[in-house]
Amino acid sequence: MDEKPPYPVLPEHIQNGEAATPPPSYEEAMGQYQSSVCKNEQQLPPLAYIDILPKCLVPGAVENKIPPKFQSFSEVLKDANAWLQYNPGIRVWKCETVERKVEKGPTIYLDSTLLHEPTYGFISYVIGLRLWLTKNKDSDCAVQQLGVYNVVPDKKEIPVSYRTGFMGGGVDMGGSFVMAPGTMGRAGLQLQSIITYEGLAKTIERINKEFKVTPLPGSILSIETRKHKIAEGFGSIDIDPEVTSWSEKGATTSKRYVHSLKIFYVQGKPANQEIYMHEIKPEMIYPSELSKPAKFENFQEVLKKTQSWIKCQSGMQILNLDTRDAVVHEAFGNTQVDSDSTDEFNSAMTDSKYLRFIRIFYCPNPNISYTSTLLTSHLFEPVRTGVKSFETMSETMKRVEAWLNVTGLRIMNVETVHYLYNSNYHTGVDVDRSYIKIPQTSAKYWLTTIRLYFPSVYQEPSPLSLPPVKDWKLNNGSSSCSIL
């Protein structure tokens, strides 16, 4: 058998014949990729990733509203496993899906940290797989091979009341009022039924029952809540978690989404795990009124509560911590936050409102305790370089690497977090706001950031020990990332 290269093998190595002969499907199936692992790098950075996107099968024509078609998610996972086979010194410690906009060509800008969502026009998206990587310290350990277990919430039919009035209408579902396009005229109340989806808690109960009968063929690595667009308007289609691309008609069209789960696992002997979930949300300071929205604690308080909760836990293993956005319903002076709902409707007539919180997935493990853990975190925002421009993901990761090399901190968790761009803030985003209002009738920009979690407190390093960061307005001086 040929000896493995001493450095991480990237797709271009295989294309250039610089590695052992790959499996036949690897070179054929490998689509676009982006990685923080550099060619000929002798040692893995303290934090690294690779994004693998599906291969484009049919280019389409985005400029003519013809969406491209891409490989299935299973094919993306095959590519990831092929890459891991040729990198036995690397292990995956978390999986995420990544979402990218498909431009004319089709072209996908993998290294961009800013995504533009226009008001009008046709938009096409594609999702790929992000692997967060660490060094494999056990040379005798088998090469990881990943699997994914997709969980789609069950459909259910429920009675609803539909209210119409001069300002449009909405639907009462389980006590929540969802704004929807209505007819102009006198206010009225109509009774009907609607197809919706089981909540997240019920879905997890069902998963655990299924796992008791048919255990997962391996051990769980991480769990992701994935949002699927299923219709424009109140319609719906069957959800296929294998589909990696979709299209939208811009912000002026109502859209319906359903949340599913992707359970990523390392193939092997069944670990017979059950999964559980805990959510930590900001407290409401006061509810909405007819003249003003509700007010909630800021996100910093959520992080403090997460720290307190984790410190009290033992006999369990945290699979991942994720920042999520729950829909906030505000109508007739009432405020409701529904983080359990898997059915989401965005009206083209009203702004969408969300509450940012932390969702923790975990499984029982009698050998693990967090009583000595003091959770802290650090948010790395791409450096702003102009009015609507930011550094690339590669540049951000270089700063992350430098920061970690100085602090020497052990990473407990990592996540990719998106923030709504706001030009009124010097950095371009308001990272501490938990109540988020998303305008539906105007263009939006989303900034990609990286949040790291650590099991201990730390001291922020001096800016002099880090790469200089130029102020985009003053074009001089330096500053470090904000601590959260």
State pLDDT tens for residues 21-42: 333 333 344 456 677 776 555 6
DSSP letter for each residue of 105-165: TTEE-TT--EEEE-SSS-EEEEEEEEEEEEE---TTSPPP-EEEEEE-PPEEEEEEEEEEE
458, pLDDT greater than 80: yes
Average pLDDT over residues 114-118: 92
The 10s digit of each residue's pLDDT in 252-265 is 788 899 999 999 99
Q: In the predicted model, what is the mean pLDDT of the chain?
A: 85
State the average pLDDT over residues 312-321. 98
For residue 328, the one-letter residue type is V
Q: Could you tell me the residue ranges of all domains in the chain? A: 11-136
* Tens of pLDDT, residues 255-295: 899 999 999 999 999 999 999 999 999 999 998 887 788 99
pTM here? 0.86
Q: Is pLDDT larger for residue 279 or for residue 232?
A: 279
Is the alpha carbon torsion for 71, 73, 79, 83 positive or negative?
positive
Most confident of 8-12, 39-43, 472-476: 472-476
Read off the pLDDT band of 161 (50, 70, 90). Answer: low
Banded model confidence at residue 76, pLDDT cuts 50, 70, 90: very high
SS (H, E, C) 447-484: EEEEEEEECCCCCCCCHHHCCCCCCCCCCCCCCCCCEC
Which residues, in sequence order, are CB contacts of 192 under 8 Å at separation 6+? 159, 160, 162
- Please indicate whether residue 231 or residue 75 has the higher confidence score (pLDDT): 75
At residue 425, the pLDDT reads: 93
Would you place residue 326 in the very low, low, confident or very high pLDDT band (cuts 50, 70, 90)? very high
Mean pLDDT value across residues 202-227: 98
Would you state the pLDDT for residue 41? 59
Alpha-helical (H) ranges within 312-461 are 393-407
Q: Residue 186 — very low, low, confident or very high, per pLDDT cuts 50/70/90?
A: very low
Which residues is 226 bridged to in the sheet?
260
Question: Given its phi and psi angles, is residue 175 left (phi above 0), alpha (psi -120 to 50 degrees) or beta?
Answer: left
* Residues 199-216, mean pLDDT to the nearest whole number: 97
